[in-house]
C-alpha cells in the first residue's frame, strides 16, 4: 500500500517552461487536493477535486490548472512557470465524509520541490 505518491520529487525549470506534476493514490479516496508550502505561510490550497471529472479552485489557483480524469490520479499543470511558483507542492487525498465519520483526515504525499529560475 503506497498511499499517496508524487512524481517527480525534484525539478528545476526555466521561466516560461511548462510542466505537469502527478499525484497518485491507491486508497480509493474520493477527495484529492494540491497545496503549495512556502516558508512561514503554512499550506495553501491551489485546487481540489471531490471526484473523478470534477475540479474546483482553492485559495491560490492563478497560474495553475488541474485535471482528474481517473479517480486515483490528480494532475497539476503549470502552463508558463514563473519564479513566484518556486515552492514545495504537496498532494493530499481523503475519504468522502459520511454519516458515520464526518471528520476524515487527509493523507499526504512527500512533496515535489520545484525551482523556477
Q: Cβ neighbours of residue 37 under 8 Å, at least 6 residues apart? A: 43, 44, 87, 88, 89, 90, 111
What is the smallest separation between the CB atom of 52 and other proteins, expressed in angstroms? 15
Contact 9, 110 (CB under 8 A): yes
Q: How far is the CB of 63 from other proteins (least distance, A)?
A: 20
The nearest distance, CB 8 to other proteins, in angstroms, is 14
For other proteins, the binding residues (CB under 8 A) are: 4, 31, 33, 35, 40-45, 48, 50, 56, 58, 90, 92, 97, 102-103, 105-111
Nearer to other proteins, 28 or 105 (CB): 105
Closest to other proteins by CB, 48 vs 64, is 48
The candidate with the shortest Cα–Cα distance to 87, out of 98, 99, 76, is: 76
CA 25 to chain CA mean position, Å: 11
* 9 neighbors 113 (Cβ within 8 angstroms): yes
- Closest contact distance (angstroms) between CB of 116 and other proteins is 20
Nearer to other proteins, 54 or 80 (CB): 54
Compare residues 82 and 96 and give the one whose CB is closer to other proteins: 96
Q: Which residues contact 54 (CB under 8 A, 6 or more apart)?
A: 68
Amino acid at each position: 500500500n503506497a498511499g499517496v505518491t508524487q512524481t517527480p520529487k525534484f525539478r528545476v525549470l526555466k521561466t516560461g517552461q511548462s510542466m505537469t506534476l502527478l499525484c497518485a493514490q491507491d486508497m480509493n479516496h474520493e477527495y484529492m487536493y494540491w497545496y503549495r508550502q512556502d516558508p512561514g505561510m503554512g499550506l495553501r490550497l491551489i485546487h481540489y477535486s471531490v471526484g473523478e471529472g470534477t475540479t474546483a479552485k482553492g485559495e491560490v489557483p492563478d497560474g495553475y490548472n488541474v485535471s482528474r480524469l481517473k479517480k486515483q490520479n490528480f494532475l497539476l499543470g503549470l502552463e508558463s512557470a514563473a519564479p513566484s511558483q518556486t515552492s514545495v507542492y504537496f498532494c493530499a487525498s481523503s475519504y468522502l465524509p459520511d454519516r458515520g465519520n464526518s471528520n476524515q483526515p487527509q493523507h499526504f504525499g512527500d512533496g515535489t520541490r520545484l525551482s523556477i529560475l
